[in-house]
Amino acid sequence: MILFSIKDNFEAINVDRGYLHSFLWSFPPWQFMSIPDEQIIVTPEIQRHSLYQFAADIIVPQPSMMTGVFREVIDTVYDWLQEHLPIKLDQNIRQCDGYTAETDFPTLFCEAVFDEHLWGIRLTQPSPPFVEKKTVAERTWTTDIALRQDGEILRFGIHICSISTGTAIGKEADCAKPALIDQLVFQHVLRDGRRLNGKPWILSKKNDIRRFYELLISTERTLPVLLLTQADSKRYPHRRFRFTLDNLELARLGIGIAHVVCLPTELESDWSQMVGGAWSAGRGAVRIYWPQIDFENDSPANHPIAVPNRPGPWPGIRGLNWEYQGGTSDDFQAFLLNGMLRREARQMRDWSGFLFCREIQARRYQLKWEKDAEEDKKRAEELAKIQSKDDLCKALSETVKHINSQIKDLKAEHARELGGFEVWIHENKRQLEVNGLLIQSYEKQLEEEKTANYHLRVMNDSLRASLDAKPGNEQRDIPVPDNYEEMDEWVKTQLAGRLVLHPRAVNYQRKAVYEDIALVYKALLLLATAFRDMKMHPALTEKWETERTYLGLHFGSSISETELGKYKDDYTVIYPLHTSKRRFAEYHLRKGVSRDERYCLAIYFFWDDDSNQVVVTWLPSHLDNRLS
């Protein structure tokens, strides 16, 4: 019996020990990608870490070169494998449709359908497939590689993970990039939203800003983007490089880890105007834009930024989830690369466009069965044409021999596959049970966090009420900026826990032209105080109405339900973020009836009962409706 440990909760699950190795290794890579290493540990026998994953398109210059490029990539992988294995690899790996290395350990499985340009391997070995990484007793590493034709390109994918047993459990599992990635990049044309060539992309003209934006939002991009900006040499005289860090070295070391992009000073304002101040970077700052970015619904805070401060080189980092203790710029470069490597290794990746060994094997068997069926059909047609009795008997005898030979081969294959499918079924049942335990654990953590947040909000409200009761501390005395650029930071600082700007509102307010900027801030302050107080204590409705009237603001429903269908995308937003739920901005505050956005104010929002706060989805202009 194996115990699955999910933090402090233990559930016993029966697992036959004979299946233990297969239980972890025969899953396709994506079936484990969503399980964070710190969340699930198989105790006392097994602990799993995902160490590296990478996918890219390999460009084929012209269709007639497809087979040649396909075999060249296989040769590159073959040479890399040979460097890391103590055995001499069989040439069948390059050309055989099905191959298993004849050695107990390490084990190498290769499956291919060359006519369809499908090829994959699974290597399990007692040493890491990384340069300068040490072998750890009672730990093994598995490398899955997939290569397939997809239209006019080839798609390459690799996933590396480790399994620890016994004394290796609990020891650090180093994430690293295999040298194979550099070899592929320099020998072939790889693309991840943009060509990978080991060089930094230095933006030099305004058109590059648009191309950079398109790279960020591209669904083809799977690597993070590391943006370096130009440091002021007068303000930071200790800087050794034009773009704060060594962009050439970062791009070289960052192959297969991140795109390195450099933003010169003269283009900073263009980038800020395109994405807004909250999303931009400049003056020597370094920013990471993760894959699958959504400027409409993401929060800028999820894409970390590091700002250099005088006089120390890197005394602090704002927005990064990794702990950095300071040091030289070289230390910080290594810190950034390692942090991105570790995060991306543990992110859930969509492998649905790839076929790994098991899927390629299934495809090979399918093609074989289709070929046998076609041969049987032709044989039957030939028998039907035979007239002579002796010839018919002879043909039937040969057919029987052929069928008996097929039956024998099928029985052997069936016996092998039956054991594999029984293990596969058993494994997936266990996986379902593990997922169920994870869901229970996440739900419990979510409830605990909700409870903790609730108590924190109550405490904050109590402290705020105590401060407001003191003379001179009234809420209306909170200073407000005279521009829209500071609004997001002001809301986070002054209205935290009471009002939040949805990313859509943050992204649009940078384009705002409404002239009475102070009124916009006062309206937000009103929603965070009087409106929130009314929602939590209906007896305070009169206070809300009085203060709203004092500012000359009208309050009401944003749009009727009959009109909502046509304008659903405008009046609903994804909330909570990173979910599929949409919330309707049912209320709005407005002032003015002019169609000129300079003189007409509208703030759209809804009340979130779970967090007891106002969520502003759009400001300060009117959204479309039937009347407009």
482-503 per-position pLDDT tens digit: 999 889 889 988 898 899 999 8
C-alpha 55, offset from chain centre: 12
Is the pLDDT assigned to residue 227 strictly greater than 90? yes
pLDDT bin (cut points 50, 70, 90) of residue 393 is confident
Q: Of all helices (H) and strands (E), which one includes residue 93?
A: helix 92-95
* Out of 9-18, 352-361, 485-494, least confident range: 9-18
Q: Of all helices (H) and strands (E), which one includes residue 436?
A: helix 389-468
Is the pLDDT assigned to residue 138 strictly greater than 60? yes
With a CB cutoff of 8 Å and minimum separation 6, the contacts of 249 are: 333
Tokens standing for residue 121: 């391997």
3-state secondary structure 519-572: HHHHHHHHHHHHHHHHHHCHHHHHHHHHHHHHCCCEEEECCCHHHHCCCHHHHE
d(CA 536, CA 454): 13
d(CA 585, CA 583): 7
Is the pLDDT assigned to residue 236 strictly greater than 70? no
Tokens standing for residue 399: 């057919």
Q: What is the pLDDT of residue 101?
A: 61
* Out of 89-93, 474-478, 528-532, least confident range: 474-478
Residue that the structure tokens 């690369």 belong to: 337
Share of the chain above pLDDT 70, in %: 77
Is the pLDDT assigned to residue 428 strictly greater than 70? no
d(CA 355, CA 255): 24
The amino acid sitting at 455 is H
Q: Which has more pLDDT, 321 or 490?
A: 490
Residues 509-527 have a mean pLDDT of 91
Is the pLDDT assigned to residue 208 strictly greater than 90? yes
C-alpha 281, offset from chain centre: 22
Is the pLDDT assigned to residue 66 strictly greater than 90? yes
* Out of 6-20, 445-459, 505-519, least confident range: 6-20
Is the pLDDT assigned to residue 22 strictly greater than 50? no
* Out of 142-156, 290-304, 524-538, least confident range: 290-304
Q: What is the pLDDT of residue 472?
A: 58
Q: Which of 420, 464, 461 lies closest to 611 in space, CA to CA?
A: 461
pLDDT bin (cut points 50, 70, 90) of residue 167 is confident
Q: What is the pLDDT of residue 103?
A: 60
Beta-bridge partner residues of 161: 50, 142
d(CA 304, CA 291): 13
Residues 40-67 have a mean pLDDT of 81
Q: What is the pLDDT of residue 19?
A: 32
Tokens standing for residue 530: 């009087």
pTM, two decimals, is 0.73
Tokens standing for residue 576: 């909570």
Residues 338-353 have a mean pLDDT of 88
pLDDT bin (cut points 50, 70, 90) of residue 44 is very low
Q: What is the pLDDT of residue 194?
A: 95
Q: Which of 240, 243, 256, 239 lies closest to 188 in space, CA to CA?
A: 256
pLDDT mean across residues, the chain: 80
Q: What is the pLDDT of residue 53?
A: 96
d(CA 71, CA 118): 11
pLDDT bin (cut points 50, 70, 90) of residue 77 is very high
- For the CA atoms of 272, 274, 275, 277, what is the dihedral angle to 10 degrees? 20
Q: What is the pLDDT of residue 245?
A: 87
Q: What is the pLDDT of residue 89?
A: 82
Give the angle 310-313-318 at the CA atoms, nearest 5°. Answer: 80
269 in Cβ contact with 195 (< 8 Å) = no
Residues 413-418 have a mean pLDDT of 64
Q: What is the pLDDT of residue 215?
A: 97
Is the pLDDT assigned to residue 10 strictly greater than 70? no
* Out of 207-221, 246-260, 263-277, 465-479, least confident range: 465-479
How many alpha carbons fall within 13 Å on the CB side of residue 39?
Answer: 18
pLDDT bin (cut points 50, 70, 90) of residue 321 is very low
Integer distance in angstroms from the first to the last C-alpha of the chain?
68
d(CA 102, CA 104): 7
Q: Which has more pLDDT, 421 or 221?
A: 221
173 in Cβ contact with 138 (< 8 Å) = no
CA diameter of the chain = 117
pLDDT bin (cut points 50, 70, 90) of residue 316 is very low
Residues 87-98 have a mean pLDDT of 75
d(CA 287, CA 279): 9
DSSP designation for 299: -
Output the CA torsion sign for 184, 188, 191, 195: positive
pLDDT bin (cut points 50, 70, 90) of residue 312 is very low
Residues 538-556 have a mean pLDDT of 94
d(CA 252, CA 192): 16
Q: 568-585: per-residue pLDDT in tens?
A: 888 999 888 877 788 999
Q: Does 44 sit behind a cis peptide bond, omega within 30 degrees of 0 on the bond before it?
A: yes
426 in Cβ contact with 2 (< 8 Å) = no
Is the pLDDT assigned to residue 35 strictly greater than 70? no
- Segments of 276-381 assigned E as strands: 286-289, 305-306
d(CA 495, CA 520): 14
Is the pLDDT assigned to residue 296 strictly greater than 90? no
Q: 446-457: per-residue pLDDT in tens?
A: 777 777 777 677
Residues 318-325 have a mean pLDDT of 46
Q: Which has more pLDDT, 283 or 311?
A: 283
Residues 65-84 have a mean pLDDT of 92
Is the pLDDT assigned to residue 628 strictly greater than 60? no
Coil vs helix vs strand at 182: helix
pLDDT bin (cut points 50, 70, 90) of residue 315 is very low
326 in Cβ contact with 312 (< 8 Å) = yes
Q: Which has more pLDDT, 449 or 38?
A: 449
Q: Could you give the C-alpha distances from 221 to 6, 206, 301, 516, in angstroms and in order?
A: 33, 22, 20, 41
* Out of 94-108, 133-147, 260-274, 278-292, least confident range: 94-108
Is the pLDDT assigned to residue 70 strictly greater than 90? yes
Q: What is the pLDDT of residue 277?
A: 82
